[in-house]
């Protein structure tokens, strides 16, 4: 484990793989931490300098007072990369992590070599949806909504046949600081990245799970249609967290994308 004070907060991060390889950053979704990438990382550590981190409000990173913005999260990532001496990187972002990747691709295009947007969009949900979610967790915590969230994260087959893993990922979710979770809900609520999506110029892959209950495939495809030259791919038998449910399939798509971008 490693920690760094960047952008005024302490972030927990981990660096694996080739010390002199091109950088590849994985960015987590709402209610998760860097452990969701544990089955994906081995596919990239031989060639890449792989960077994981817990975004603010999650995992072992600081959870400052809510609300947060996508720019707050983007500033955190840029500051972490500065701390690590990383000038350029490819980004893989899941859900809100994909929104952070999109924002960084627009704000600092000179630092982004490619992006993979997984189970995400330029606009996710409505203000009313996120207001309801924030109100629920501020009133009763994450525990009462956890099972509904897990139904969106994972397919029925996963929930029925991998009960012990499901329990572990549930533990991760409910142990997220309530104000960190609510703060990031506010970041998603307030972010509409559609006006800038057409400015994303680096190679882009958009990946959806065919059973995603949070960002359905047509929503992900809608964002791919806005970004010039973006490619869309669908993973069968996956919900909202394919890096847990279908890591081999997701790793293969990312690796092919990086190869086509000239980075492998």
Among left, alpha and beta (phi > 0; psi -120 to 50; other), residue 95 is: left
Q: In CATH, what number is assigned to the domain containing residue 171?
A: 3.40.50.1820
pLDDT of residue 205: 98
How crowded is residue 63: how many other Cβ atoms within 10 Å of its Cβ?
20
The tokens for 262 are: 């000239």
pLDDT of residue 216: 98
* Counted domains in the chain: 1
pLDDT of residue 113: 98
pLDDT of residue 264: 80
E strand or H helix that includes residue 78: helix 70-83
Instruction: Give the residue among 106, 94, 82 at the shortest CA–CA distance from 209.
Output: 94
Domain of 14? 2-260
**11 vs 4, 5, 97, 171, 188, CA distance in Å?**
5, 6, 15, 21, 20
Q: What angle (nearest 5°) sits at the alpha carbon of residue 221, between those of residues 118 and 41?
A: 15
pTM listed for this prediction: 0.98
Burial grade of 112 (CB within 10 A; 0-12, 13-18, 19 or more): buried
What SS3 class is residue 200? coil
Handedness of CA 104, 126, 205, 224 (dihedral sign): negative
pLDDT of residue 1: 84
Strand 9-17: give its sheet, edge to edge.
2-6, 9-17, 49-53, 23-27, 89-94, 112-118, 204-209, 231-235
The tokens for 36 are: 């969701």
Side-chain half-sphere of 30: how many Cα atoms within 13 Å?
31
pLDDT of residue 203: 98
pLDDT of residue 177: 97
The tokens for 243 are: 């890096």
What SS3 class is residue 197? helix
**Contact between residue 209 and residue 217 where contact means Cβ atoms under 8 Å apart:** yes
b/e map of 79-105 (b: 16 or more CB within 10 Å)? bbbeebebeebbbbbbbbbbbbbbbbb
- C-alpha torsion angle, residues 157, 160, 165, 167 (rounded to 10): 130
**Contact between residue 200 and residue 206 where contact means Cβ atoms under 8 Å apart:** no
One digit per residue, the tens of pLDDT, for the chain of length 264 reads 899 999 999 999 999 999 999 999 999 999 999 999 999 999 999 999 999 999 999 999 999 999 999 999 999 999 999 999 999 999 999 999 999 999 999 999 999 999 999 999 999 999 999 999 999 999 999 999 999 999 999 999 999 999 999 999 999 999 999 999 999 999 999 999 999 999 999 999 999 999 999 999 999 999 999 999 999 999 999 999 999 999 999 999 999 999 999 998
Burial grade of 61 (CB within 10 A; 0-12, 13-18, 19 or more): buried
């Amino acid at each position: 484990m490693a920690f760094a004070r960047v952008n005024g907060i302490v972030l927990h991060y981990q660096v694996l793989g080739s010390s002199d390889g091109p950088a590849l950053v994985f960015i987590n979704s709402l209610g998760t931490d860097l452990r969701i990438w544990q089955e994906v990382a081995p596919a990239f550590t031989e060639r890449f300098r792989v960077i994981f981190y817990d975004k603010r409000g999650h995992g072992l990173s600081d959870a400052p007072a809510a609300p947060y913005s996508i720019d707050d999260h983007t500033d955190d990532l840029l500051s972490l990369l500065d701390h690590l001496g990383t000038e350029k990187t490819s980004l893989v972002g899941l859900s809100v992590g994909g929104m952070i990747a999109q924002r960084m691709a627009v704000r600092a295009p000179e630092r982004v070599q490619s992006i993979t947007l997984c189970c995400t969009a330029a606009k996710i949900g409505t203000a009313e949806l996120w207001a309801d979610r924030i109100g629920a967790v501020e009133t009763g915590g994450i525990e009462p909504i956890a099972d509904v969230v897990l139904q969106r994260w994972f397919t029925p087959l996963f929930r029925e046949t991998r009960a012990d893993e499901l329990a572990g990922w549930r533990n991760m979710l409910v142990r997220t600081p309530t104000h960190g979770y609510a703060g990031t809900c506010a970041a998603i609520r307030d972010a509409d990245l559609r006006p800038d999506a057409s400015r994303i110029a680096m190679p882009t892959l958009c990946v959806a799970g065919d059973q995603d209950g949070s960002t359905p495939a047509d929503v992900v495809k809608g964002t791919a249609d806005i970004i010039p030259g973006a490619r869309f791919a669908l993973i069968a038998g996956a919900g909202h967290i394919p890096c847990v449910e279908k890591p081999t399939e997701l790793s293969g798509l990312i690796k092919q994308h990086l190869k086509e971008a000239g980075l492998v």
